[in-house]
Amino acid sequence: MLKGKRILLIVAGGIAAFKSLELIRRLRERGASVRCVLTEAGAKFVTPLSLQALSEDRVYSDMFSLTDESEMGHIQLSRDADLLVVAPATANILARMAGGLADDLAATVLLATDKPVLAAPAMNVRMWTHAATVANVETLKQRGIHFVGPNDGAMACNEFGPGRMSEPEEIADAIEELLAPAEQPLAGKRAVVTSGPTREAIDPVRYISNHSSGKQGHAIASALAALGADVALVSGPVSIADPPGLRTVHVDSADQMLAACLAAGRIDIAVCAAAVADWKATRPSGSKIKKKAGTAPPSLELTPNPDILATLSKPGPQRPALVVGFAAETENLVANAIDKRQRKGCDWIVANDVSPAVGTFGGERNTVHLISASGVEDWPTLAKGEVAMRLAGRIALHFSLPPKAEAAE
Ligand code: PMT
């Protein structure tokens, strides 16, 4: 039920806007109050009068209306709700959200809000699969925007495929799920997650690094935080955004990453998903190494980096109760990962294939094997966010079981 919940429904300009009328009914039946923002394009498909009659509230459209601003400014409008729902979320409004535009009331409210946002996309199949929309949706997901749908099916434009807006009941269910009091089985637990690559300086302009994007590690940090853990994310240099709702410490080198992990103090959970460079330059040059005509290329002497996972796994009073490592392998994946778990002394290791053909580095999906003292579990190929939620769920389960039940997990 949605008793007492306040929904701000943003209706953008798509043929699916007619379903938003039905959505208002469904939400009110479940006990929510609904206030509507209608875009100029949305008003070509549904009238303010229909939205007003069904929501029993006035409809907001004009950012520059003096009455709107004096009675209810756009900032207040964006804050006076428990959830913002964009339905239909057209390619245009998703692009404006991803670009941070504030060129009408709907976009401004979405930019100004501090509340969760759920988008129900609706558009032609080619618009939905266009690289620009795919990138915009990815950006929005990384910023924490929630999505429901779209569904597959026949469209008003006589094409078939993904792009139909979810049915009002499905959207109402998704809203209920989002607003349900979240279970926080990891409340009170402190976690450190490492993510991304490290950069080891050769000289002020060159470095040793790898292709890690941070997507897997960042998703794990978010998933642990969603289950109530107090998370510090220690991230190497990545181009994705810091996840909302947790602390991110930015580092470059393995030495800095280790120092940041140790500075977190006593923790219960460590997840080492970073791709730490195994070696660093023994003597990084303080100035740019010059190419000299007629001389042989310089040779690079390397020194091993500290092993962060092995350091955190060392037995002692400071050891986290659960240390999870990752194993990135290009051959003999599971056998090498089992060996790595033992060598590094961690409790669990998540093995993934990083051969270029698999596309794990930087990709959206991952196929992992969870290796613990009780054996090897093969997980199906999942989106990195789903791998993260599943891993966080397993971590929560671990802490809910008595110590000797580990073998049965
Ligand atoms: O970032 P993405 O693009 O999303 O890609 C995700 C990922 C492939 C980077 C991630 O899923 C992953 O596999 N991370 C671990 C990569 C790695 O360095 O694996 P490894 O097998 O070389 O190291 C084993 C473990 O030791 C890892 O937990 C690593 O963090 C840790 N390690 C390694 C070296 C070192 N000096 N210190 C460490 O702590």
For 361-406, how does the pLDDT look when each residue is reduced to its tens digit (9 = 90+)? 999 899 999 999 999 999 999 989 999 999 999 999 999 987 765 5
Instruction: Quickly count: other Cβ atoms within 10 Å of residue 345's Cβ.
Output: 17
Structure tokens, 335:
């056998």
27 Cβ partners below 8 Å, 6+ apart?
Answer: 2, 7, 9, 34, 172, 175
Structure tokens, 322:
């659960």
- Tokens 């239909």 -> residue: 88
Please give the backbone phi and psi of residue 99, each rounded to the nearest 5 degrees, phi first: -85, -5
Please give the biggest Cα pair distance in the chain.
83
**Domain positions in the chain:** 6-179, 190-408
- Contact between 59 and 80 (Cβ < 8 Å): no
108 Cβ partners below 8 Å, 6+ apart?
Answer: 63, 74, 78, 102
d(CA 352, CA 36): 46
d(CA 35, CA 16): 18
Cα dist. 136→88, 209, 275, 303, 406 in Å? 16, 28, 27, 41, 42
d(CA 195, CA 215): 8
At residue 101, the 3 state secondary structure works out as: coil
Instruction: Quickly count: other Cβ atoms within 10 Å of residue 138's Cβ.
Output: 14
- Tokens 């459209």 -> residue: 61
Same topology for domains 6-179 and 190-408, yes or no?
Answer: yes
C-alpha distance across the termini of the chain, in Å: 33
Contacts 24+ apart (CB under 8 A), 47-54: 50/21, 51/9, 51/11, 51/20, 51/21, 51/24, 54/21, 54/24, 54/25, 54/28
Q: Model pTM?
A: 0.72
Whether residue 157 lies in the annotated active site: yes
- Contact between 371 and 342 (Cβ < 8 Å): no
Of all protein residues, the one whose alpha carbon is nearest to atom 5 of ligand 1 is 361
Contacts 24+ apart (CB under 8 A), 289-293: 289/202, 289/203, 289/206
Query: Which pLDDT score, from 0 to 100, does residue 408 have?
Result: 40
| Burial degree of 151 (CB within 10 A; 0-12, 13-18, 19+) | middle
Q: Which residues of the chain have pLDDT under 70?
A: 65-72, 404-409
d(CA 367, CA 360): 8
* Residue 337 CA to ligand 1 centre (angstroms): 11
* Residue 216 CA to ligand 1 centre (angstroms): 10
d(CA 394, CA 380): 15
d(CA 301, CA 284): 9
* Residue 53 CA to ligand 1 centre (angstroms): 56
Structure tokens, 151:
């569904």
Which candidate in 157, 261, 272, 346 is catalytic? 157
d(CA 223, CA 244): 11
Please give the backbone phi and psi of residue 367, each rounded to the nearest 5 degrees, phi first: -115, 115
The residue to mutate among 215, 272, 387, having the most atoms of ligand 1 within 8 angstroms of its beta carbon, is 272
Angle between helices 384-400 and 215-226 (to 10 degrees): 40
For 85-106, how does the pLDDT look when each residue is reduced to its tens digit (9 = 90+)? 999 999 999 999 999 999 999 9
The domain covering 6-179 belongs, at the CATH homologous superfamily level, to: Flavin prenyltransferase-like (3.40.50.1950)
CATH of 190-408, one of 3.30.2270.10, 3.40.50.10300, 3.40.50.620, 3.40.50.1580: 3.40.50.10300
Closest by CA to 42, choosing from 71, 19, 76, 72, is 19
Q: Is 219 in the pocket of ligand 1 (CB under 6 A)?
A: no
Q: Is 352 in the pocket of ligand 1 (CB under 6 A)?
A: yes
Q: Is 212 in the pocket of ligand 1 (CB under 6 A)?
A: yes
Query: Which pLDDT score, from 0 to 100, does residue 79 have?
Result: 83
Q: Is 147 in the pocket of ligand 1 (CB under 6 A)?
A: no
Closest by CA to 369, choosing from 400, 398, 340, is 340
* Residue 195 CA to ligand 1 centre (angstroms): 8
